[in-house]
A = this chain, B = another copy of it.
Amino acid sequence: MTYPLLAGIRVIESSAFIAAPLAGLTLAQYGADVIRFDLIGGGIDYNRLPMMPGGRSLYWTSLNKGKRSVAIDIRKPEGRDLLRALVTAPGPEGGILLTNVPTPWLLHKALVGARPDLISCTIEGNADGSTAVDYTVNCATGYPMLTGDGTRAKPVNHALPAWDLACAYQAAFGLTAAILRRRATGEGSEMRLALSDVAFSAMSHLGVLAEAELLAEERRSIGNDIYGAFGRDFATADGERVMIAAVSARQWRALAETCGIAEAIASIEAALGVDYSREADRYEGRDIIASLVKRWVEARSLAEIASEFDAGGVCWGQYRSVRELIADDARVSTASAIFDEIETSGVGRHRAAGATIRLSDMTRGETQPAPLLGAQTDEVLSEVLGLPQTAIGALHDRGVVAGPEADPLFPQRGEVRSFAN
């Protein structure tokens, strides 16, 4: 679904990989007109795995839903001029650039002369401009030594590009805040956001850095246990696996009552002089608690556990594979308010998420698919730059722009000005 919260705002995106495209996707799914500048034939992330057999990337098409694509040959000076013109085109809600490709001729300082109220957000690896990606940032955070049974000799990387996600949503926030400021004062903003700063600032906000600095304690890997409270994974009688969390006192009471261990717990508390209603005591006593919970869980099937846990208000979840998730979980079906069934060119019909925040008083639109490369070249050049059709045709003839590419699923639909030309 989409919501027109940012309707009227025009963002030019020059991006690759995850953080910047996802920031643009976020703006697009809340109604901004996000226009991707694409290289003719696609940029460096256009063919990333996973790929459809017919040759379209599910990675690229998933990250670029609901954007418009303008295909330009920026090796030609005329192509660079066009892209700069798109970024600095007039209109109170234009003049916004989102990028992680700090091309010298597309830097803020190269554009602000043409549009003094320019807003730009540049995502970079490190704040000094050096390269970093999620994986090379993550290894510096200490988390791989804390994940799973990770150790210094055998660290465990996360598979989820968590820092990219956090970076993307912060960039979307920053651009929106800068638009607020521009509306109030007329001033633009030059913003830079480093992936490594995203990671280290989050570690500060979670107290992890202060712990290392002030307590001189090195947090150790605790496997699948939740730090600071009670929670871990358990096997069921029928070979499934569940995660159980008792972070709040309410969750803890629900767990102890549902598993029928409240009396045993009370005896242990009395014997040891602890109080498991306190999170820190639960964390300290996690192995004792787990041994009681384990006995209850391993004697029951998943269905029995689900029924009793849901009735008792226990905070829990089942471990599922991605295929099981999409096959069975209503939260990723079209019964969810955030998932739609969409038709992506070159891909086909599939489920896709839209805006994650739900607004009760605003009409939601449908999630829009990713464009074919250059699908909106002509309409954008006409709408945003006011170029007449003859001028646009001449740009095509000189190879400065292209589009749309042929749809791999329907190559016969290829336009006269396809990429095959």
Which chain A residues numbered 168 to 188 have a C-beta less than 8 Å away from chain B? Answer: 169-174, 176-181, 183-184, 187-188
Out of B179, B197, B205, which one reaches A25, CB within 8 Å? B205
- Check B158 against A189 for contact (C-beta < 8 Å): no
Lowest 9 A-B CB distances belong to which pairs?
A136-B317, A169-B169, A162-B162, A142-B322, A204-B353, A201-B353, A49-B228, A62-B207, A58-B207
- Check B325 against A245 for contact (C-beta < 8 Å): no
A127 nearest CB across to chain B (Å): 6
A353 nearest CB across to chain B (Å): 4
- Check A157 against B62 for contact (C-beta < 8 Å): no
Cα separation A228 to B48 with both chains bound (whole Å): 7
A248 within 8 A of B: yes
Cα separation A47 to B251 with both chains bound (whole Å): 16
A348 within 8 A of B: yes
- Check B6 against A210 for contact (C-beta < 8 Å): no
- Check B351 against A213 for contact (C-beta < 8 Å): yes
Q: Which of A77-85, A287-295, A331-339 contacts B (4 or more CB under 8 A)?
A: A331-339
- Check A356 against B197 for contact (C-beta < 8 Å): yes
Find chain B residues with CB under 8 A from A142 CB: 320-325
Find chain B residues with CB under 8 A from A139 CB: 233, 241-243, 317-320
Known pairs A169-B170, A176-B180, A190-B359 / 12 extra A-B pairs, C-beta < 8 Å = A48-B228, A48-B279, A139-B319, A146-B159, A148-B150, A148-B156, A157-B223, A170-B356, A171-B357, A200-B329, A212-B326, A214-B350
The 8 A CB mask of A209-249 against B (1 = contact, 0 = none) is 11111111111010110111101010100000111110111
Pull 17 A–B residue pairs with CB atoms less than 8 Å apart, ordered by A.
Answer: A5-B178, A5-B180, A30-B177, A48-B229, A58-B215, A139-B241, A143-B160, A147-B156, A155-B233, A158-B160, A159-B227, A165-B166, A169-B172, A173-B176, A176-B176, A183-B183, A192-B357
- Check B211 against A322 for contact (C-beta < 8 Å): yes
- Check A157 against B243 for contact (C-beta < 8 Å): yes
Which chain A residues numbered 36 to 78 have a C-beta less than 8 Å away from chain B? Answer: 44, 47-52, 57-63, 65
Which chain A residues numbered 271 to 315 have a C-beta less than 8 Å away from chain B? Answer: 278-280, 283, 313, 315
Find chain B residues with CB under 8 A from A226 CB: 135
Out of B63, B133, B348, which one reaches A207, CB within 8 Å? B63
- Check B214 against A348 for contact (C-beta < 8 Å): yes
Cα separation A378 to B133 with both chains bound (whole Å): 47
Cα separation A351 to B204 with both chains bound (whole Å): 8
Find chain B residues with CB under 8 A from A384 CB: none
Find chain B residues with CB under 8 A from A48 CB: 228-229, 279
Out of B201, B216, B356, which one reaches A323, CB within 8 Å? B216
Which residue of chain B lies nearest to A176 when distances are taken between CB atoms in the complex? B176
- Check B243 against A136 for contact (C-beta < 8 Å): yes
A202 nearest CB across to chain B (Å): 6
A144 within 8 A of B: yes
Find chain B residues with CB under 8 A from A60 CB: 207
With A131-B315, A360-B192: A140-B329 Cβ-Cβ less than 8 Å: yes
A208 within 8 A of B: yes
Which residue of chain B lies nearest to A310 when distances are taken between CB atoms in the complex? B130
Which has the most chain B C-beta neighbours within 10 Å: A58, A60, A205, A248?
Answer: A205
A354 nearest CB across to chain B (Å): 8
- Check B207 against A361 for contact (C-beta < 8 Å): no
A400 within 8 A of B: no
Out of B58, B245, B280, B329, which one reaches A211, CB within 8 Å? B58
Out of B52, B63, B183, B331, which one reaches A214, CB within 8 Å? B52
Cα separation A368 to B187 with both chains bound (whole Å): 26
- Check A338 against B177 for contact (C-beta < 8 Å): no
A18 within 8 A of B: yes
- Check B44 against A133 for contact (C-beta < 8 Å): no
